[in-house]
């Protein structure tokens, strides 16, 4: 096994290196510290580096990992991983406990209430069900990425069509065609869809005549080091604190749970990427980036 791990870590294929690094992140011991440190010193791919850092943390003896009895120094990667793991575990437990209770409540209410369809009880249950669905998306966003090649432009076209539907809004698609990238399509979709929904809501909130809403612009592309997607709207703009915008439960919109941006950020964090909100004179630019798998 050690020879096979060493071979994979020295491979020119980042997928092989990532596979070995993830195995070490779950099973590494002190005997493999030298192997991990050597691979980490040469690694240029962000996903692999993050997995190797987690492996090194696992392999190091406690007295070496802890610089003092009262203080533990963690890297930003380690902190993000601990947060993601805690978020996924907590969300899973909450969903497991609440879903059957909600199902039983809905069944009882539908059976026992004559006017259930128009009741506050139904609206309250729907809000709770939306919360559970939001937690499920957060849990998905915190999961380890499953890398694959996919046509980003085709996915964006499909996601836009699904979200816009019959809404009276136009979306200008400004990115290049045949943009094949590597990443976790599910995580990218989670981040993109939440950004697009915010842009749609902000646009529909404008006081316009005859539903003449300004277009939303979606652009995408790649650089030498990363993949990026931008959603630009000319809606009502961002109202609130940018520093708190990505916190769970933070929202300025009535009836919203405030989990969309938190989900988008967590999805990109799982890809070692980032999400930014850039307010303009009118509207907001939502920008998401994740690193290329191959340096």
Which residue has 């065609």 as its token pair? 177
Which stretch of 123-127, 191-195, 289-293 has the lowest confidence by average pLDDT? 123-127
Q: Mapping DSSP to helix (H, G, I), strand (E, B) and coil, where does residue 250 land?
A: coil
The CA distance from 228 to 260, in Å, is: 19
Question: Which residue, 141, 157, 172, sits at the end of a domain?
Answer: 141
Confidence of residue 153 (pLDDT cuts 50, 70, 90): very high
With respect to residue 126, please indicate whether it lies within any of the assigned structural domains.
yes
The model's pTM: 0.65
If asked whether residues 91 and 179 sit together in one domain, one would say: no
- Read off φ and ψ for residue 154, nearest 5 degrees: -65, -40
Please provide the average confidence, as pLDDT, over all residues in the chain.
81
Closest CA to 223 of 267, 161, 251, 181: 181
User: Could you report the per-residue pLDDT of 71-94, keeping only the tens digit for each?
Assistant: 555 555 556 565 566 656 666 666
If asked whether residues 181 and 214 sit together in one domain, one would say: yes
User: Could you report the per-residue pLDDT of 62-71, keeping only the tens digit for each?
Assistant: 555 445 555 5
With respect to residue 71, please indicate whether it lies within any of the assigned structural domains.
no
The CA distance from 156 to 173, in Å, is: 9
Structure tokens at 293: 């798998």
Percent of the chain with pLDDT over 90: 27
SS3 content of the chain, % helix, strand, coil (to 5): 55, 15, 30
pLDDT at 252 (0 to 100): 54
* Helices 120-141 and 185-204: angle between axes, nearest 10 degrees: 140
Percent of the chain with pLDDT over 70: 76
Other CB atoms within a 10 A radius of the CB of residue 278 amount to: 13
With respect to residue 180, please indicate whether it lies within any of the assigned structural domains.
yes
Structure tokens at 160: 């836009």
With respect to residue 254, please indicate whether it lies within any of the assigned structural domains.
yes
Most confident range, picked from 94-98, 122-126, 139-143, 283-287: 283-287
Which stretch of 1-5, 6-10, 75-79, 145-149 has the lowest confidence by average pLDDT? 75-79
The CA distance from 36 to 59, in Å, is: 9
CATH code: domain of residue 283: 3.30.565.10
What's the structural domain count of the chain? 3
Residues 6+ apart with CB under 8 A from 86: none
């Amino acid at each position: 096994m050690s020879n096979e791990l060493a071979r994979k870590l020295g491979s020119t294929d980042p997928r092989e290196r990532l596979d070995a690094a993830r195995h070490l992140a779950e099973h590494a011991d002190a005997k493999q510290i030298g192997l991990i440190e050597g691979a980490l010193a040469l690694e240029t791919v962000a996903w692999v580096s993050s997995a190797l850092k987690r492996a090194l943390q696992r392999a190091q003896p406690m007295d070496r990992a802890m610089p003092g009895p009262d203080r533990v120094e963690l890297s930003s990667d380690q902190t993000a991983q601990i947060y993601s793991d805690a978020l996924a575990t907590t969300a899973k437990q909450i969903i497991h406990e609440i879903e059957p209770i909600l199902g039983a409540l809905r069944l009882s209410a539908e059976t026992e209430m004559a006017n259930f369809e128009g009741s506050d009880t139904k609206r309250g249950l729907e809000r709770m069900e939306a919360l559970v669905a939001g937690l499920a998306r957060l849990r998905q966003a915190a999961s380890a990425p499953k890398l694959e090649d996919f046509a980003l432009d085709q996915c964006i076209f499909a996601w836009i069509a699904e979200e816009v539907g019959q809404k009276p809004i136009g979306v200008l698609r400004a990115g290049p065609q045949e943009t094949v990238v590597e990443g976790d399509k599910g995580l990218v979709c989670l981040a993109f869809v939440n950004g697009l929904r915010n842009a749609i809501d902000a646009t529909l909130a404008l006081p316009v005549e005859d539903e003449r809403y300004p277009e939303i612009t979606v652009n995408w592309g790649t650089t030498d080091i990363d993949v990026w997607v931008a959603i630009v709207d000319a809606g009502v703009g961002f109202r609130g604190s940018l520093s708190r915008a990505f916190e769970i439960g933070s929202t300025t919109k009535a009836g919203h749970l405030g989990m969309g941006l938190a989900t988008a950020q967590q999805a990109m964090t799982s890809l070692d990427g980032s999400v930014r909100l850039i307010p303009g004179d009118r509207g907001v630019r939502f920008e998401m980036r994740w690193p290329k798998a191959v340096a």
